Structure 1
Amino acid sequence: MLKVALLGAGRIGQVHARSIAADGDSRLVAVADVNAAAAETLAAANGAEARSIDAILADPAIDAVLIATSTDTHADLIERATAAGKAVLCEKPVDLSLDRALACLASAEGTGKPVMVGFNRRFDPNFAGLKAAFDAGEIGKGELLSVTSFDPAPPPVSYIKVSGGLFRDMMIHDFDMACWIFGGAPERVTAVGTSVVDPEIGGAGDVDTAVATLTWADGRVAVIKNSRRAVYGYDQRVELLGSEGLLGAKNMLESTVEKITTAGTLSAKPEYFFLERYARAYAAEWRAFVAAVEAGSAMPVPLVEGVAALACAEAATLSAKRGETVAIAEVMAREVSHAA
């Protein structure tokens, strides 16, 4: 039985607590949060104790920690937890700074402890099924990938100001999806972004509507479309064109009932937000983490792949600002020179 501590008792922490509780091979024993009342409430609901992070990391009986705190704490907590001998599952992104994420990677690898990044969409049954079919050669060589990710409504501007920007905060999921499906990072990224949904988002220095084109060394292309507003619901689709066919994963709808009359066809809207859309994915993500820890096998989403997605986000951010294509090698070299 894997004994687990949860760091972070907010909305996503509560989602993870449910996944831990539903898994027969793990048990939540401790919860920490800067909001002591939130930690107490979540701990009590799951038969756990509210403790400080220091107390959790000092407890040798705790095998793993799940980090669901604010982004600016992720890298530090990964380093501290792995140094304390814990296995780690950390929500994305590793950090908003690629330089800091690379330092975290080096530190964690030095401990030999396993770290997994929480890119939950890999564990969605539909996207996982598409990936499995592609890997089995069902459509030949992948040539053109299209990823659509539209939120139903923008977050508060107060969140936008600390999010790191759409490319690091939102599109990073899709960068990871593209790298995962195609089996590695692209060679270069071209991105454009505008603020047409909410002028306050533009005023905060961010964009709310963006498109990124990723190009691999062998000519494969991925196109990612993001918007902070889709009034009809949470729009999440993937389409992959190959040399021998097409694979697609469509939206999850609120209902499968469809009405067809002489007036046309009517169906339900997509599920409204990520909590509904990815409930199964979060549970499967946790199950995969526990299984890897117990077996001593490689993490399904290792820390290095979280850094690769962040490198794509960094390249996209630079590309949108400059109005030109940016090579992944350039952003990696920039960070290495900064670190030196």
Structure 2
Amino acid sequence: MRLALIGAGRIGKVHAATIAGHPDITLAGVSDFHLPSAQALAELHGSKALSAESIFDDDSIDAILIASSTPTHADYLERAARAGKAVLCEKPIALDLPRTREALTVLASHPVVCALGFNRRHDPQFAALKQGIVDGRIGQLETLAITSRDPSPPPAEYVAASGGLFRDMTIHDFDMARWLLDEPIHFVHAEGSCLVDPAIGEAGDIDTAVITLTTASGRLCQITNSRRAVYGYDQRIEAFGSLGMLQAQNETDTRVRFTGEAGQVEEKPQLFFLERYARAYQHELDNFYTSWRDGTAPMAGADDGLQALRLAEAAERSLREGRRISMSDID
């Protein structure tokens, strides 16, 4: 696969390194609105800087990885589909449902392999927990608890353009909930506060939330979010069922535990998503490559992005109106 990268920012750098390390993928070029950033990243990995226009027009480029700013995702996704190129797009496709649906309409009329960057599905721990549920190790799944806390809040200017906590942060948890519950979610109830950084509240957002999801059969999922965890990046999942429980724990650098007279001490969780999900990004890229090579569906696709965004919309409405929201009311 000859794969071009659009976006040379923080996540673009992660993807560029992952592409460069894949034995069956060549980094065909890097594009960014800030040309020096594209040039520096391309040079680092033995590639070249390209304009976005030349990437879409180049028949030798098989696929495009979209890691640019969120407002550009839908346009680039549509252009990739019309150009007949496979595409791996960072989440979200767009910050609103109508624009997301427009992009899916284009994909339907120009079918290409399209993967969405819900990288947590590819995390080895979470994938093993999912397989345990599928294999029936805990019997019938009854409750799911997803904990997701950032180590520190983002700048207020980021918050203002992010689409809010539910679209920016919780959307990963919504996708995990859908994937693990594996049945329609009927109701969403969200509570939220600004307890961490007053600047986030001044920007019109929240930094702390608890969301409850109820499925068609009555299974319950609780998602807990915070923009601050003083001990590091807190990423845990607990699946409880009729025959037992599965837990995915935080990753540490060595997983070494010290035991002494004063008690037990473990390392802090890894600092942030770049460290915690390094292997997930590798597996995500490999899944994309395999889907392109074999013509199979990727683990997470464009419709998964739409459905996670619908849950984010429901959570926002629930918070605003102070009531449980039926997913049948989210068009």
> Counterpart of 1:337?
none
Point out where structure 2 has 5 or more consecutive residues left out of the alignment.
none
Tell me if structure 1 keeps the 8 A contact 2:77–2:103. Answer: yes
CA distance in 2, matches of 1:53, 1:151: 32
Question: Is the 8 Å Cα contact of residues 238 and 247 (structure 2) preserved in structure 1?
Answer: yes
Q: Which residue of 2 aligns with 1:92?
A: 91
1:254 CA displacement:
2.9
TM superposition shift of 1:257: 2.0
Q: Which residue of 1 aligns with 2:34?
A: 35
Letter of the structure 1 residue corresponding to residue 73 of structure 2: H
The aligned residue for residue 165 of structure 2 is 166
CA distance in 2, matches of 1:73, 1:29: 20
TM-score, with structure 1 as normaliser: 0.96
Q: Distance in 2 between matches of 1:32 and 1:105?
A: 24
Give the AA of the match of 1:111.
H
2:316 corresponds to? 317
Deviation at residue 262 of structure 1 after TM alignment:
2.8
In 2, the alpha carbon distance for the partners of 1:117 and 1:227 equals 24
Of 69-78 and 181-190, the range deviating more from structure 2? 181-190
- Counterpart contact for 1:5–1:31, Cα < 8 Å: yes
Aligned residue in 2 for 1:192? 191
1:335 alignment partner in structure 2: none
8 Å contact kept, 1:29–1:47: no
Q: CA RMSD in A?
A: 0.8
Encode CA deviations 1:274-322: one digit per residue, 9 max, x unaligned: 1110000001100010011000111211110111001001100111111
| Aligned-partner SS, 1:144 | strand
Please say if 1:107 is aligned against 2:112.
Answer: no
Distance 1:175 1:97 in 2: 16
Q: What's the CA shift string for 1:228-273, capped at 9, x where partnerless?
A: 0001100000000011110000000133221212321111111111
2:248 aligns with 249
Number of the residue aligned with 2:202: 203
CA deviation after TM superposition for structure 1 residue 184, in Å = 3.9
Aligned partners of 2:209, 2:178: CA distance in 1, in Å? 18
Describe the shift of the 1:159–1:231 C-alpha distance in structure 2 as closer, same or farther (beyond 3 A): same
1:275 aligned partner: 274
- Gapped regions of structure 1 (runs ≥ 5): 333-340
Q: Is the 8 A contact 2:192 2:210 kept in 1?
A: yes
Give the counterpart letter for 1:74 in structure 2. H
Q: What residue in structure 2 maps to residue 295 of structure 1?
A: 294
Q: Distance in 1 between matches of 2:255 and 2:168?
A: 31
Whole-Å Cα distance in 1 between the matches of residues 186 and 72 of structure 2?
Answer: 30
Distance 2:192 2:74 in 1: 28
Q: TM-score, normalised by structure 2?
A: 0.99
How many angstroms apart in 1 are the aligned matches of 2:34 and 2:246?
Answer: 45
**Aligned position for 2:122:** 123
Q: 2:220 matched to 1:221? A: yes
Kept in 1: contact 2:6–2:32 (CA 8 A): yes
239-248 or 180-189: bigger deviation: 180-189
Number of corresponding residues: 331
| Percent pairwise identity | 49
- Give the distance between the partners of 1:302 and 1:184, measured in 2 at CA: 17
C-alpha distance in 1, partners of 2:6/2:108? 21
3-state secondary structure, aligned to 1:176: helix
CA distance in 2, matches of 1:184, 1:104: 25
CA change 1:164–1:185 in 2 (3 A) is farther
Answer yes or no: is the 8 Å Cα contact 2:195–2:207 preserved in 1.
yes
